[in-house]
Amino acid sequence: MWAILTLLVENKPGILFKVTHLFRSRNFNIDSISVGVTENPGYSRMTITTYGNEKQVNQIVKQLDKMIDTVEVKHLDESKTIYRELSLFKIRLSNANDSMEINKLTNAYGGKVHDVKKDSIIVELAATPDQIKAFEELAKPFGIIDVARTGVSALQRSGA
């Protein structure tokens, strides 16, 4: 199962290493990770996505919760969470018609077009990982030159 974990941690040097080391030492893979300072500069929020069965995910949550620098750990329910990932795609333009088609595709996914050049275009997409994957599949025939992805950021809905 795909799991979204969110951690509120003390904003101190080395905490990212400690968290990733915990995953590595348990032979658990991190699919994506994003970290940023919260409204309180003394704390950072980490959002980690990973795959594992329920027992494995529960075990990693317990281990993360035991860490001294960890304030709070949550395994988020996808249906009660807003989660997005930012991605940038550099796509090849072979002819003038490609630019129009990529613009249509980008608009259909709620993205933005940036940096249109003669031979390439850069597209920004903030969406769920599944939506990004679907966009990528549709853009492949044009020729994807490069991709950059931020990792998932997530917040639990109010009242959830």
DSSP notation for the chain: -EEEEEEEEE--TTHHHHHHHHHHHTT--EEEEEEEE-SSTTEEEEEEEEE--HHHHHHHHHHHHHSTTEEEEEEE-GGGEEEEEEEEEEEE--SHHHHHHHHHHHHHTT-EEE---SSEEEEEEEE-HHHHHHHHHHHGGG-EEEEEEEEEEEEEPTT-
What's the confidence (pLDDT) of residue 107? Answer: 97
Do 2-76 and 82-156 fold alike per CATH?
Answer: yes
CATH class of 82-156: alpha beta
Q: Which residue ranges make up each domain of the chain?
A: 2-76, 82-156
What's the confidence (pLDDT) of residue 159? Answer: 77
Tell me which residues of the chain have a pLDDT lower than 50.
none
The CATH architecture that domain 2-76 belongs to is 2-Layer Sandwich (3.30)
pLDDT tens across 48-75, in order? 999 989 999 999 999 999 999 999 999 9
What's the confidence (pLDDT) of residue 82? Answer: 95
